Amino acid sequence: MVHVLIFLRFVRSHLNVIPGSKQNDETFRDAIYEETAPNATVWQTYMRESTQTDIRMMGECRENLDVLLVFAGLFSAVVTTFMVQTYQNLQPDYTQASAKLLFELVSIQRALANGTSLDMIPMSASNPSAKFIPSSGSVWVNGLWLTSLVLSLTTALIAVLVKQWLHHYTALPSGTPRDRNHIRQFRYAGFQKWQVFVIVGLLPVIMHVALAIFFLGLVVFLIPL
């Protein structure tokens, strides 16, 4: 605080401004020893400059997060649609088993009606009581797509939390310029401590990883076709 007062007095004493002029009234209207008062010019100037910086900085973050949220929502819907179809491969298909057993029963009835030996009728391999083991391809596909869906939803969740943090950052309470600047600086220090802007930069990377995993699962799904 002492250094600030000395600096302001030095500037006041060495700048050649005309007393009573517009420049003097606007730049040095604070009384002596009031250069750091709650409503001093230095706080108002800092508030004006920091507000412009925050608007530009927060605007860029909000635009990136909005685009990311839209993409994450659409991508999650697509992955969910694929998983609804492939998840059935992880469970036994009782409809197909019933069709095979019904076909075997009809074949037996025809053999009895025609007097054909029952040994000529192939037995169905379907056994509803047997333990079902899904194919490795189905397990891999569903595992990859589930991982992709989790990453996408995690990205959307973090993006929403960051947007709420940005809103809280810009919503300064009422008060003197000095108090508002102190609160703003405290919140900005929190942003730096938690690396919020680094997190915003990492969210697209997570979405790229989710997209790559989805395409990998799609390749595994299409190989047997």
DSSP annotation of 141 reads H
Which amino acid is present at 32? I
Question: Does some domain include residue 47?
Answer: no
Q: Is residue 87 part of a domain?
A: yes
Regarding whether 186 and 122 lie in a shared domain, the answer is no
Q: How far apart are CA 76 and CA 203, in angstroms?
A: 15
**Is 191 contained in some domain?**
yes
C-alpha triplet 222, 223, 225: angle, nearest 5°: 65
Report yes or no: 123 and 164 within 8 Å, Cβ to Cβ.
no
User: In this structure, are 110 and 197 located in the same domain?
Assistant: no
**224 and 116 in one domain?**
no
Q: What is the pLDDT of residue 32?
A: 73
- Shared domain check, 200 and 119: no
Same domain, residue pair 121 and 199: no
Q: How many domains does the chain have?
A: 2
Specify the pLDDT at position 189. Answer: 92
Select from 133, 158, 185 the last residue of a domain: 133
| 186 and 81 belong to one structural domain | yes
Residue 108 lies in a domain: yes
Residue given tokens 């057993």 in the structure block: 101
pTM summary value: 0.72
Same structural domain for residues 85 and 182? yes
Picking from 104, 133, 162, the residue at the C-terminal end of a domain is 133
CA–centroid distance for 110 within its chain: 62
CA–CA separation, 43 and 51 (whole Å): 12
Residue 16 belongs to some domain of the structure = no
Q: So what's the pLDDT on residue 128? A: 67
User: Does any domain span residue 192?
Assistant: yes
Same domain, 176 and 108: no
Q: Are residues 77 and 140 in the same domain?
A: yes
Residue 15 lies in a domain: no
Question: Tell me, what amino acid is at 137?
Answer: G
**Nearest Cα to 162, choosing from 193, 189, 191?**
191
Q: Are residues 73 and 162 in the same domain?
A: yes
Range of the domain at 78: 59-91+135-225
Same domain? 113 vs 214? no
Distance CA 191, CA 193 (A): 6
Q: Which of 70, 102, 133 is the last residue of a domain?
A: 133
Q: Is residue 26 part of a domain?
A: no
Phi and psi for 39 in degrees, rounded to 5? -110, 25
Q: What is the pLDDT of residues 182-212, one digit of tens each?
A: 899 999 998 889 999 999 999 999 999 999 9
What local confidence, expressed as pLDDT, does residue 222 receive? 94
- Position 82 scores a pLDDT of 96
Are 99 and 78 contained in the same domain? no
What pLDDT tens digit does each residue of the chain (225 aa) get? 444 444 445 444 544 444 444 444 444 566 776 777 787 888 888 889 888 988 888 888 999 999 999 999 999 999 999 999 999 899 887 777 777 778 777 888 888 878 777 777 777 766 667 788 899 999 999 999 999 999 999 999 999 999 999 998 888 888 888 898 889 999 999 888 999 999 999 999 999 999 999 999 999 999 987
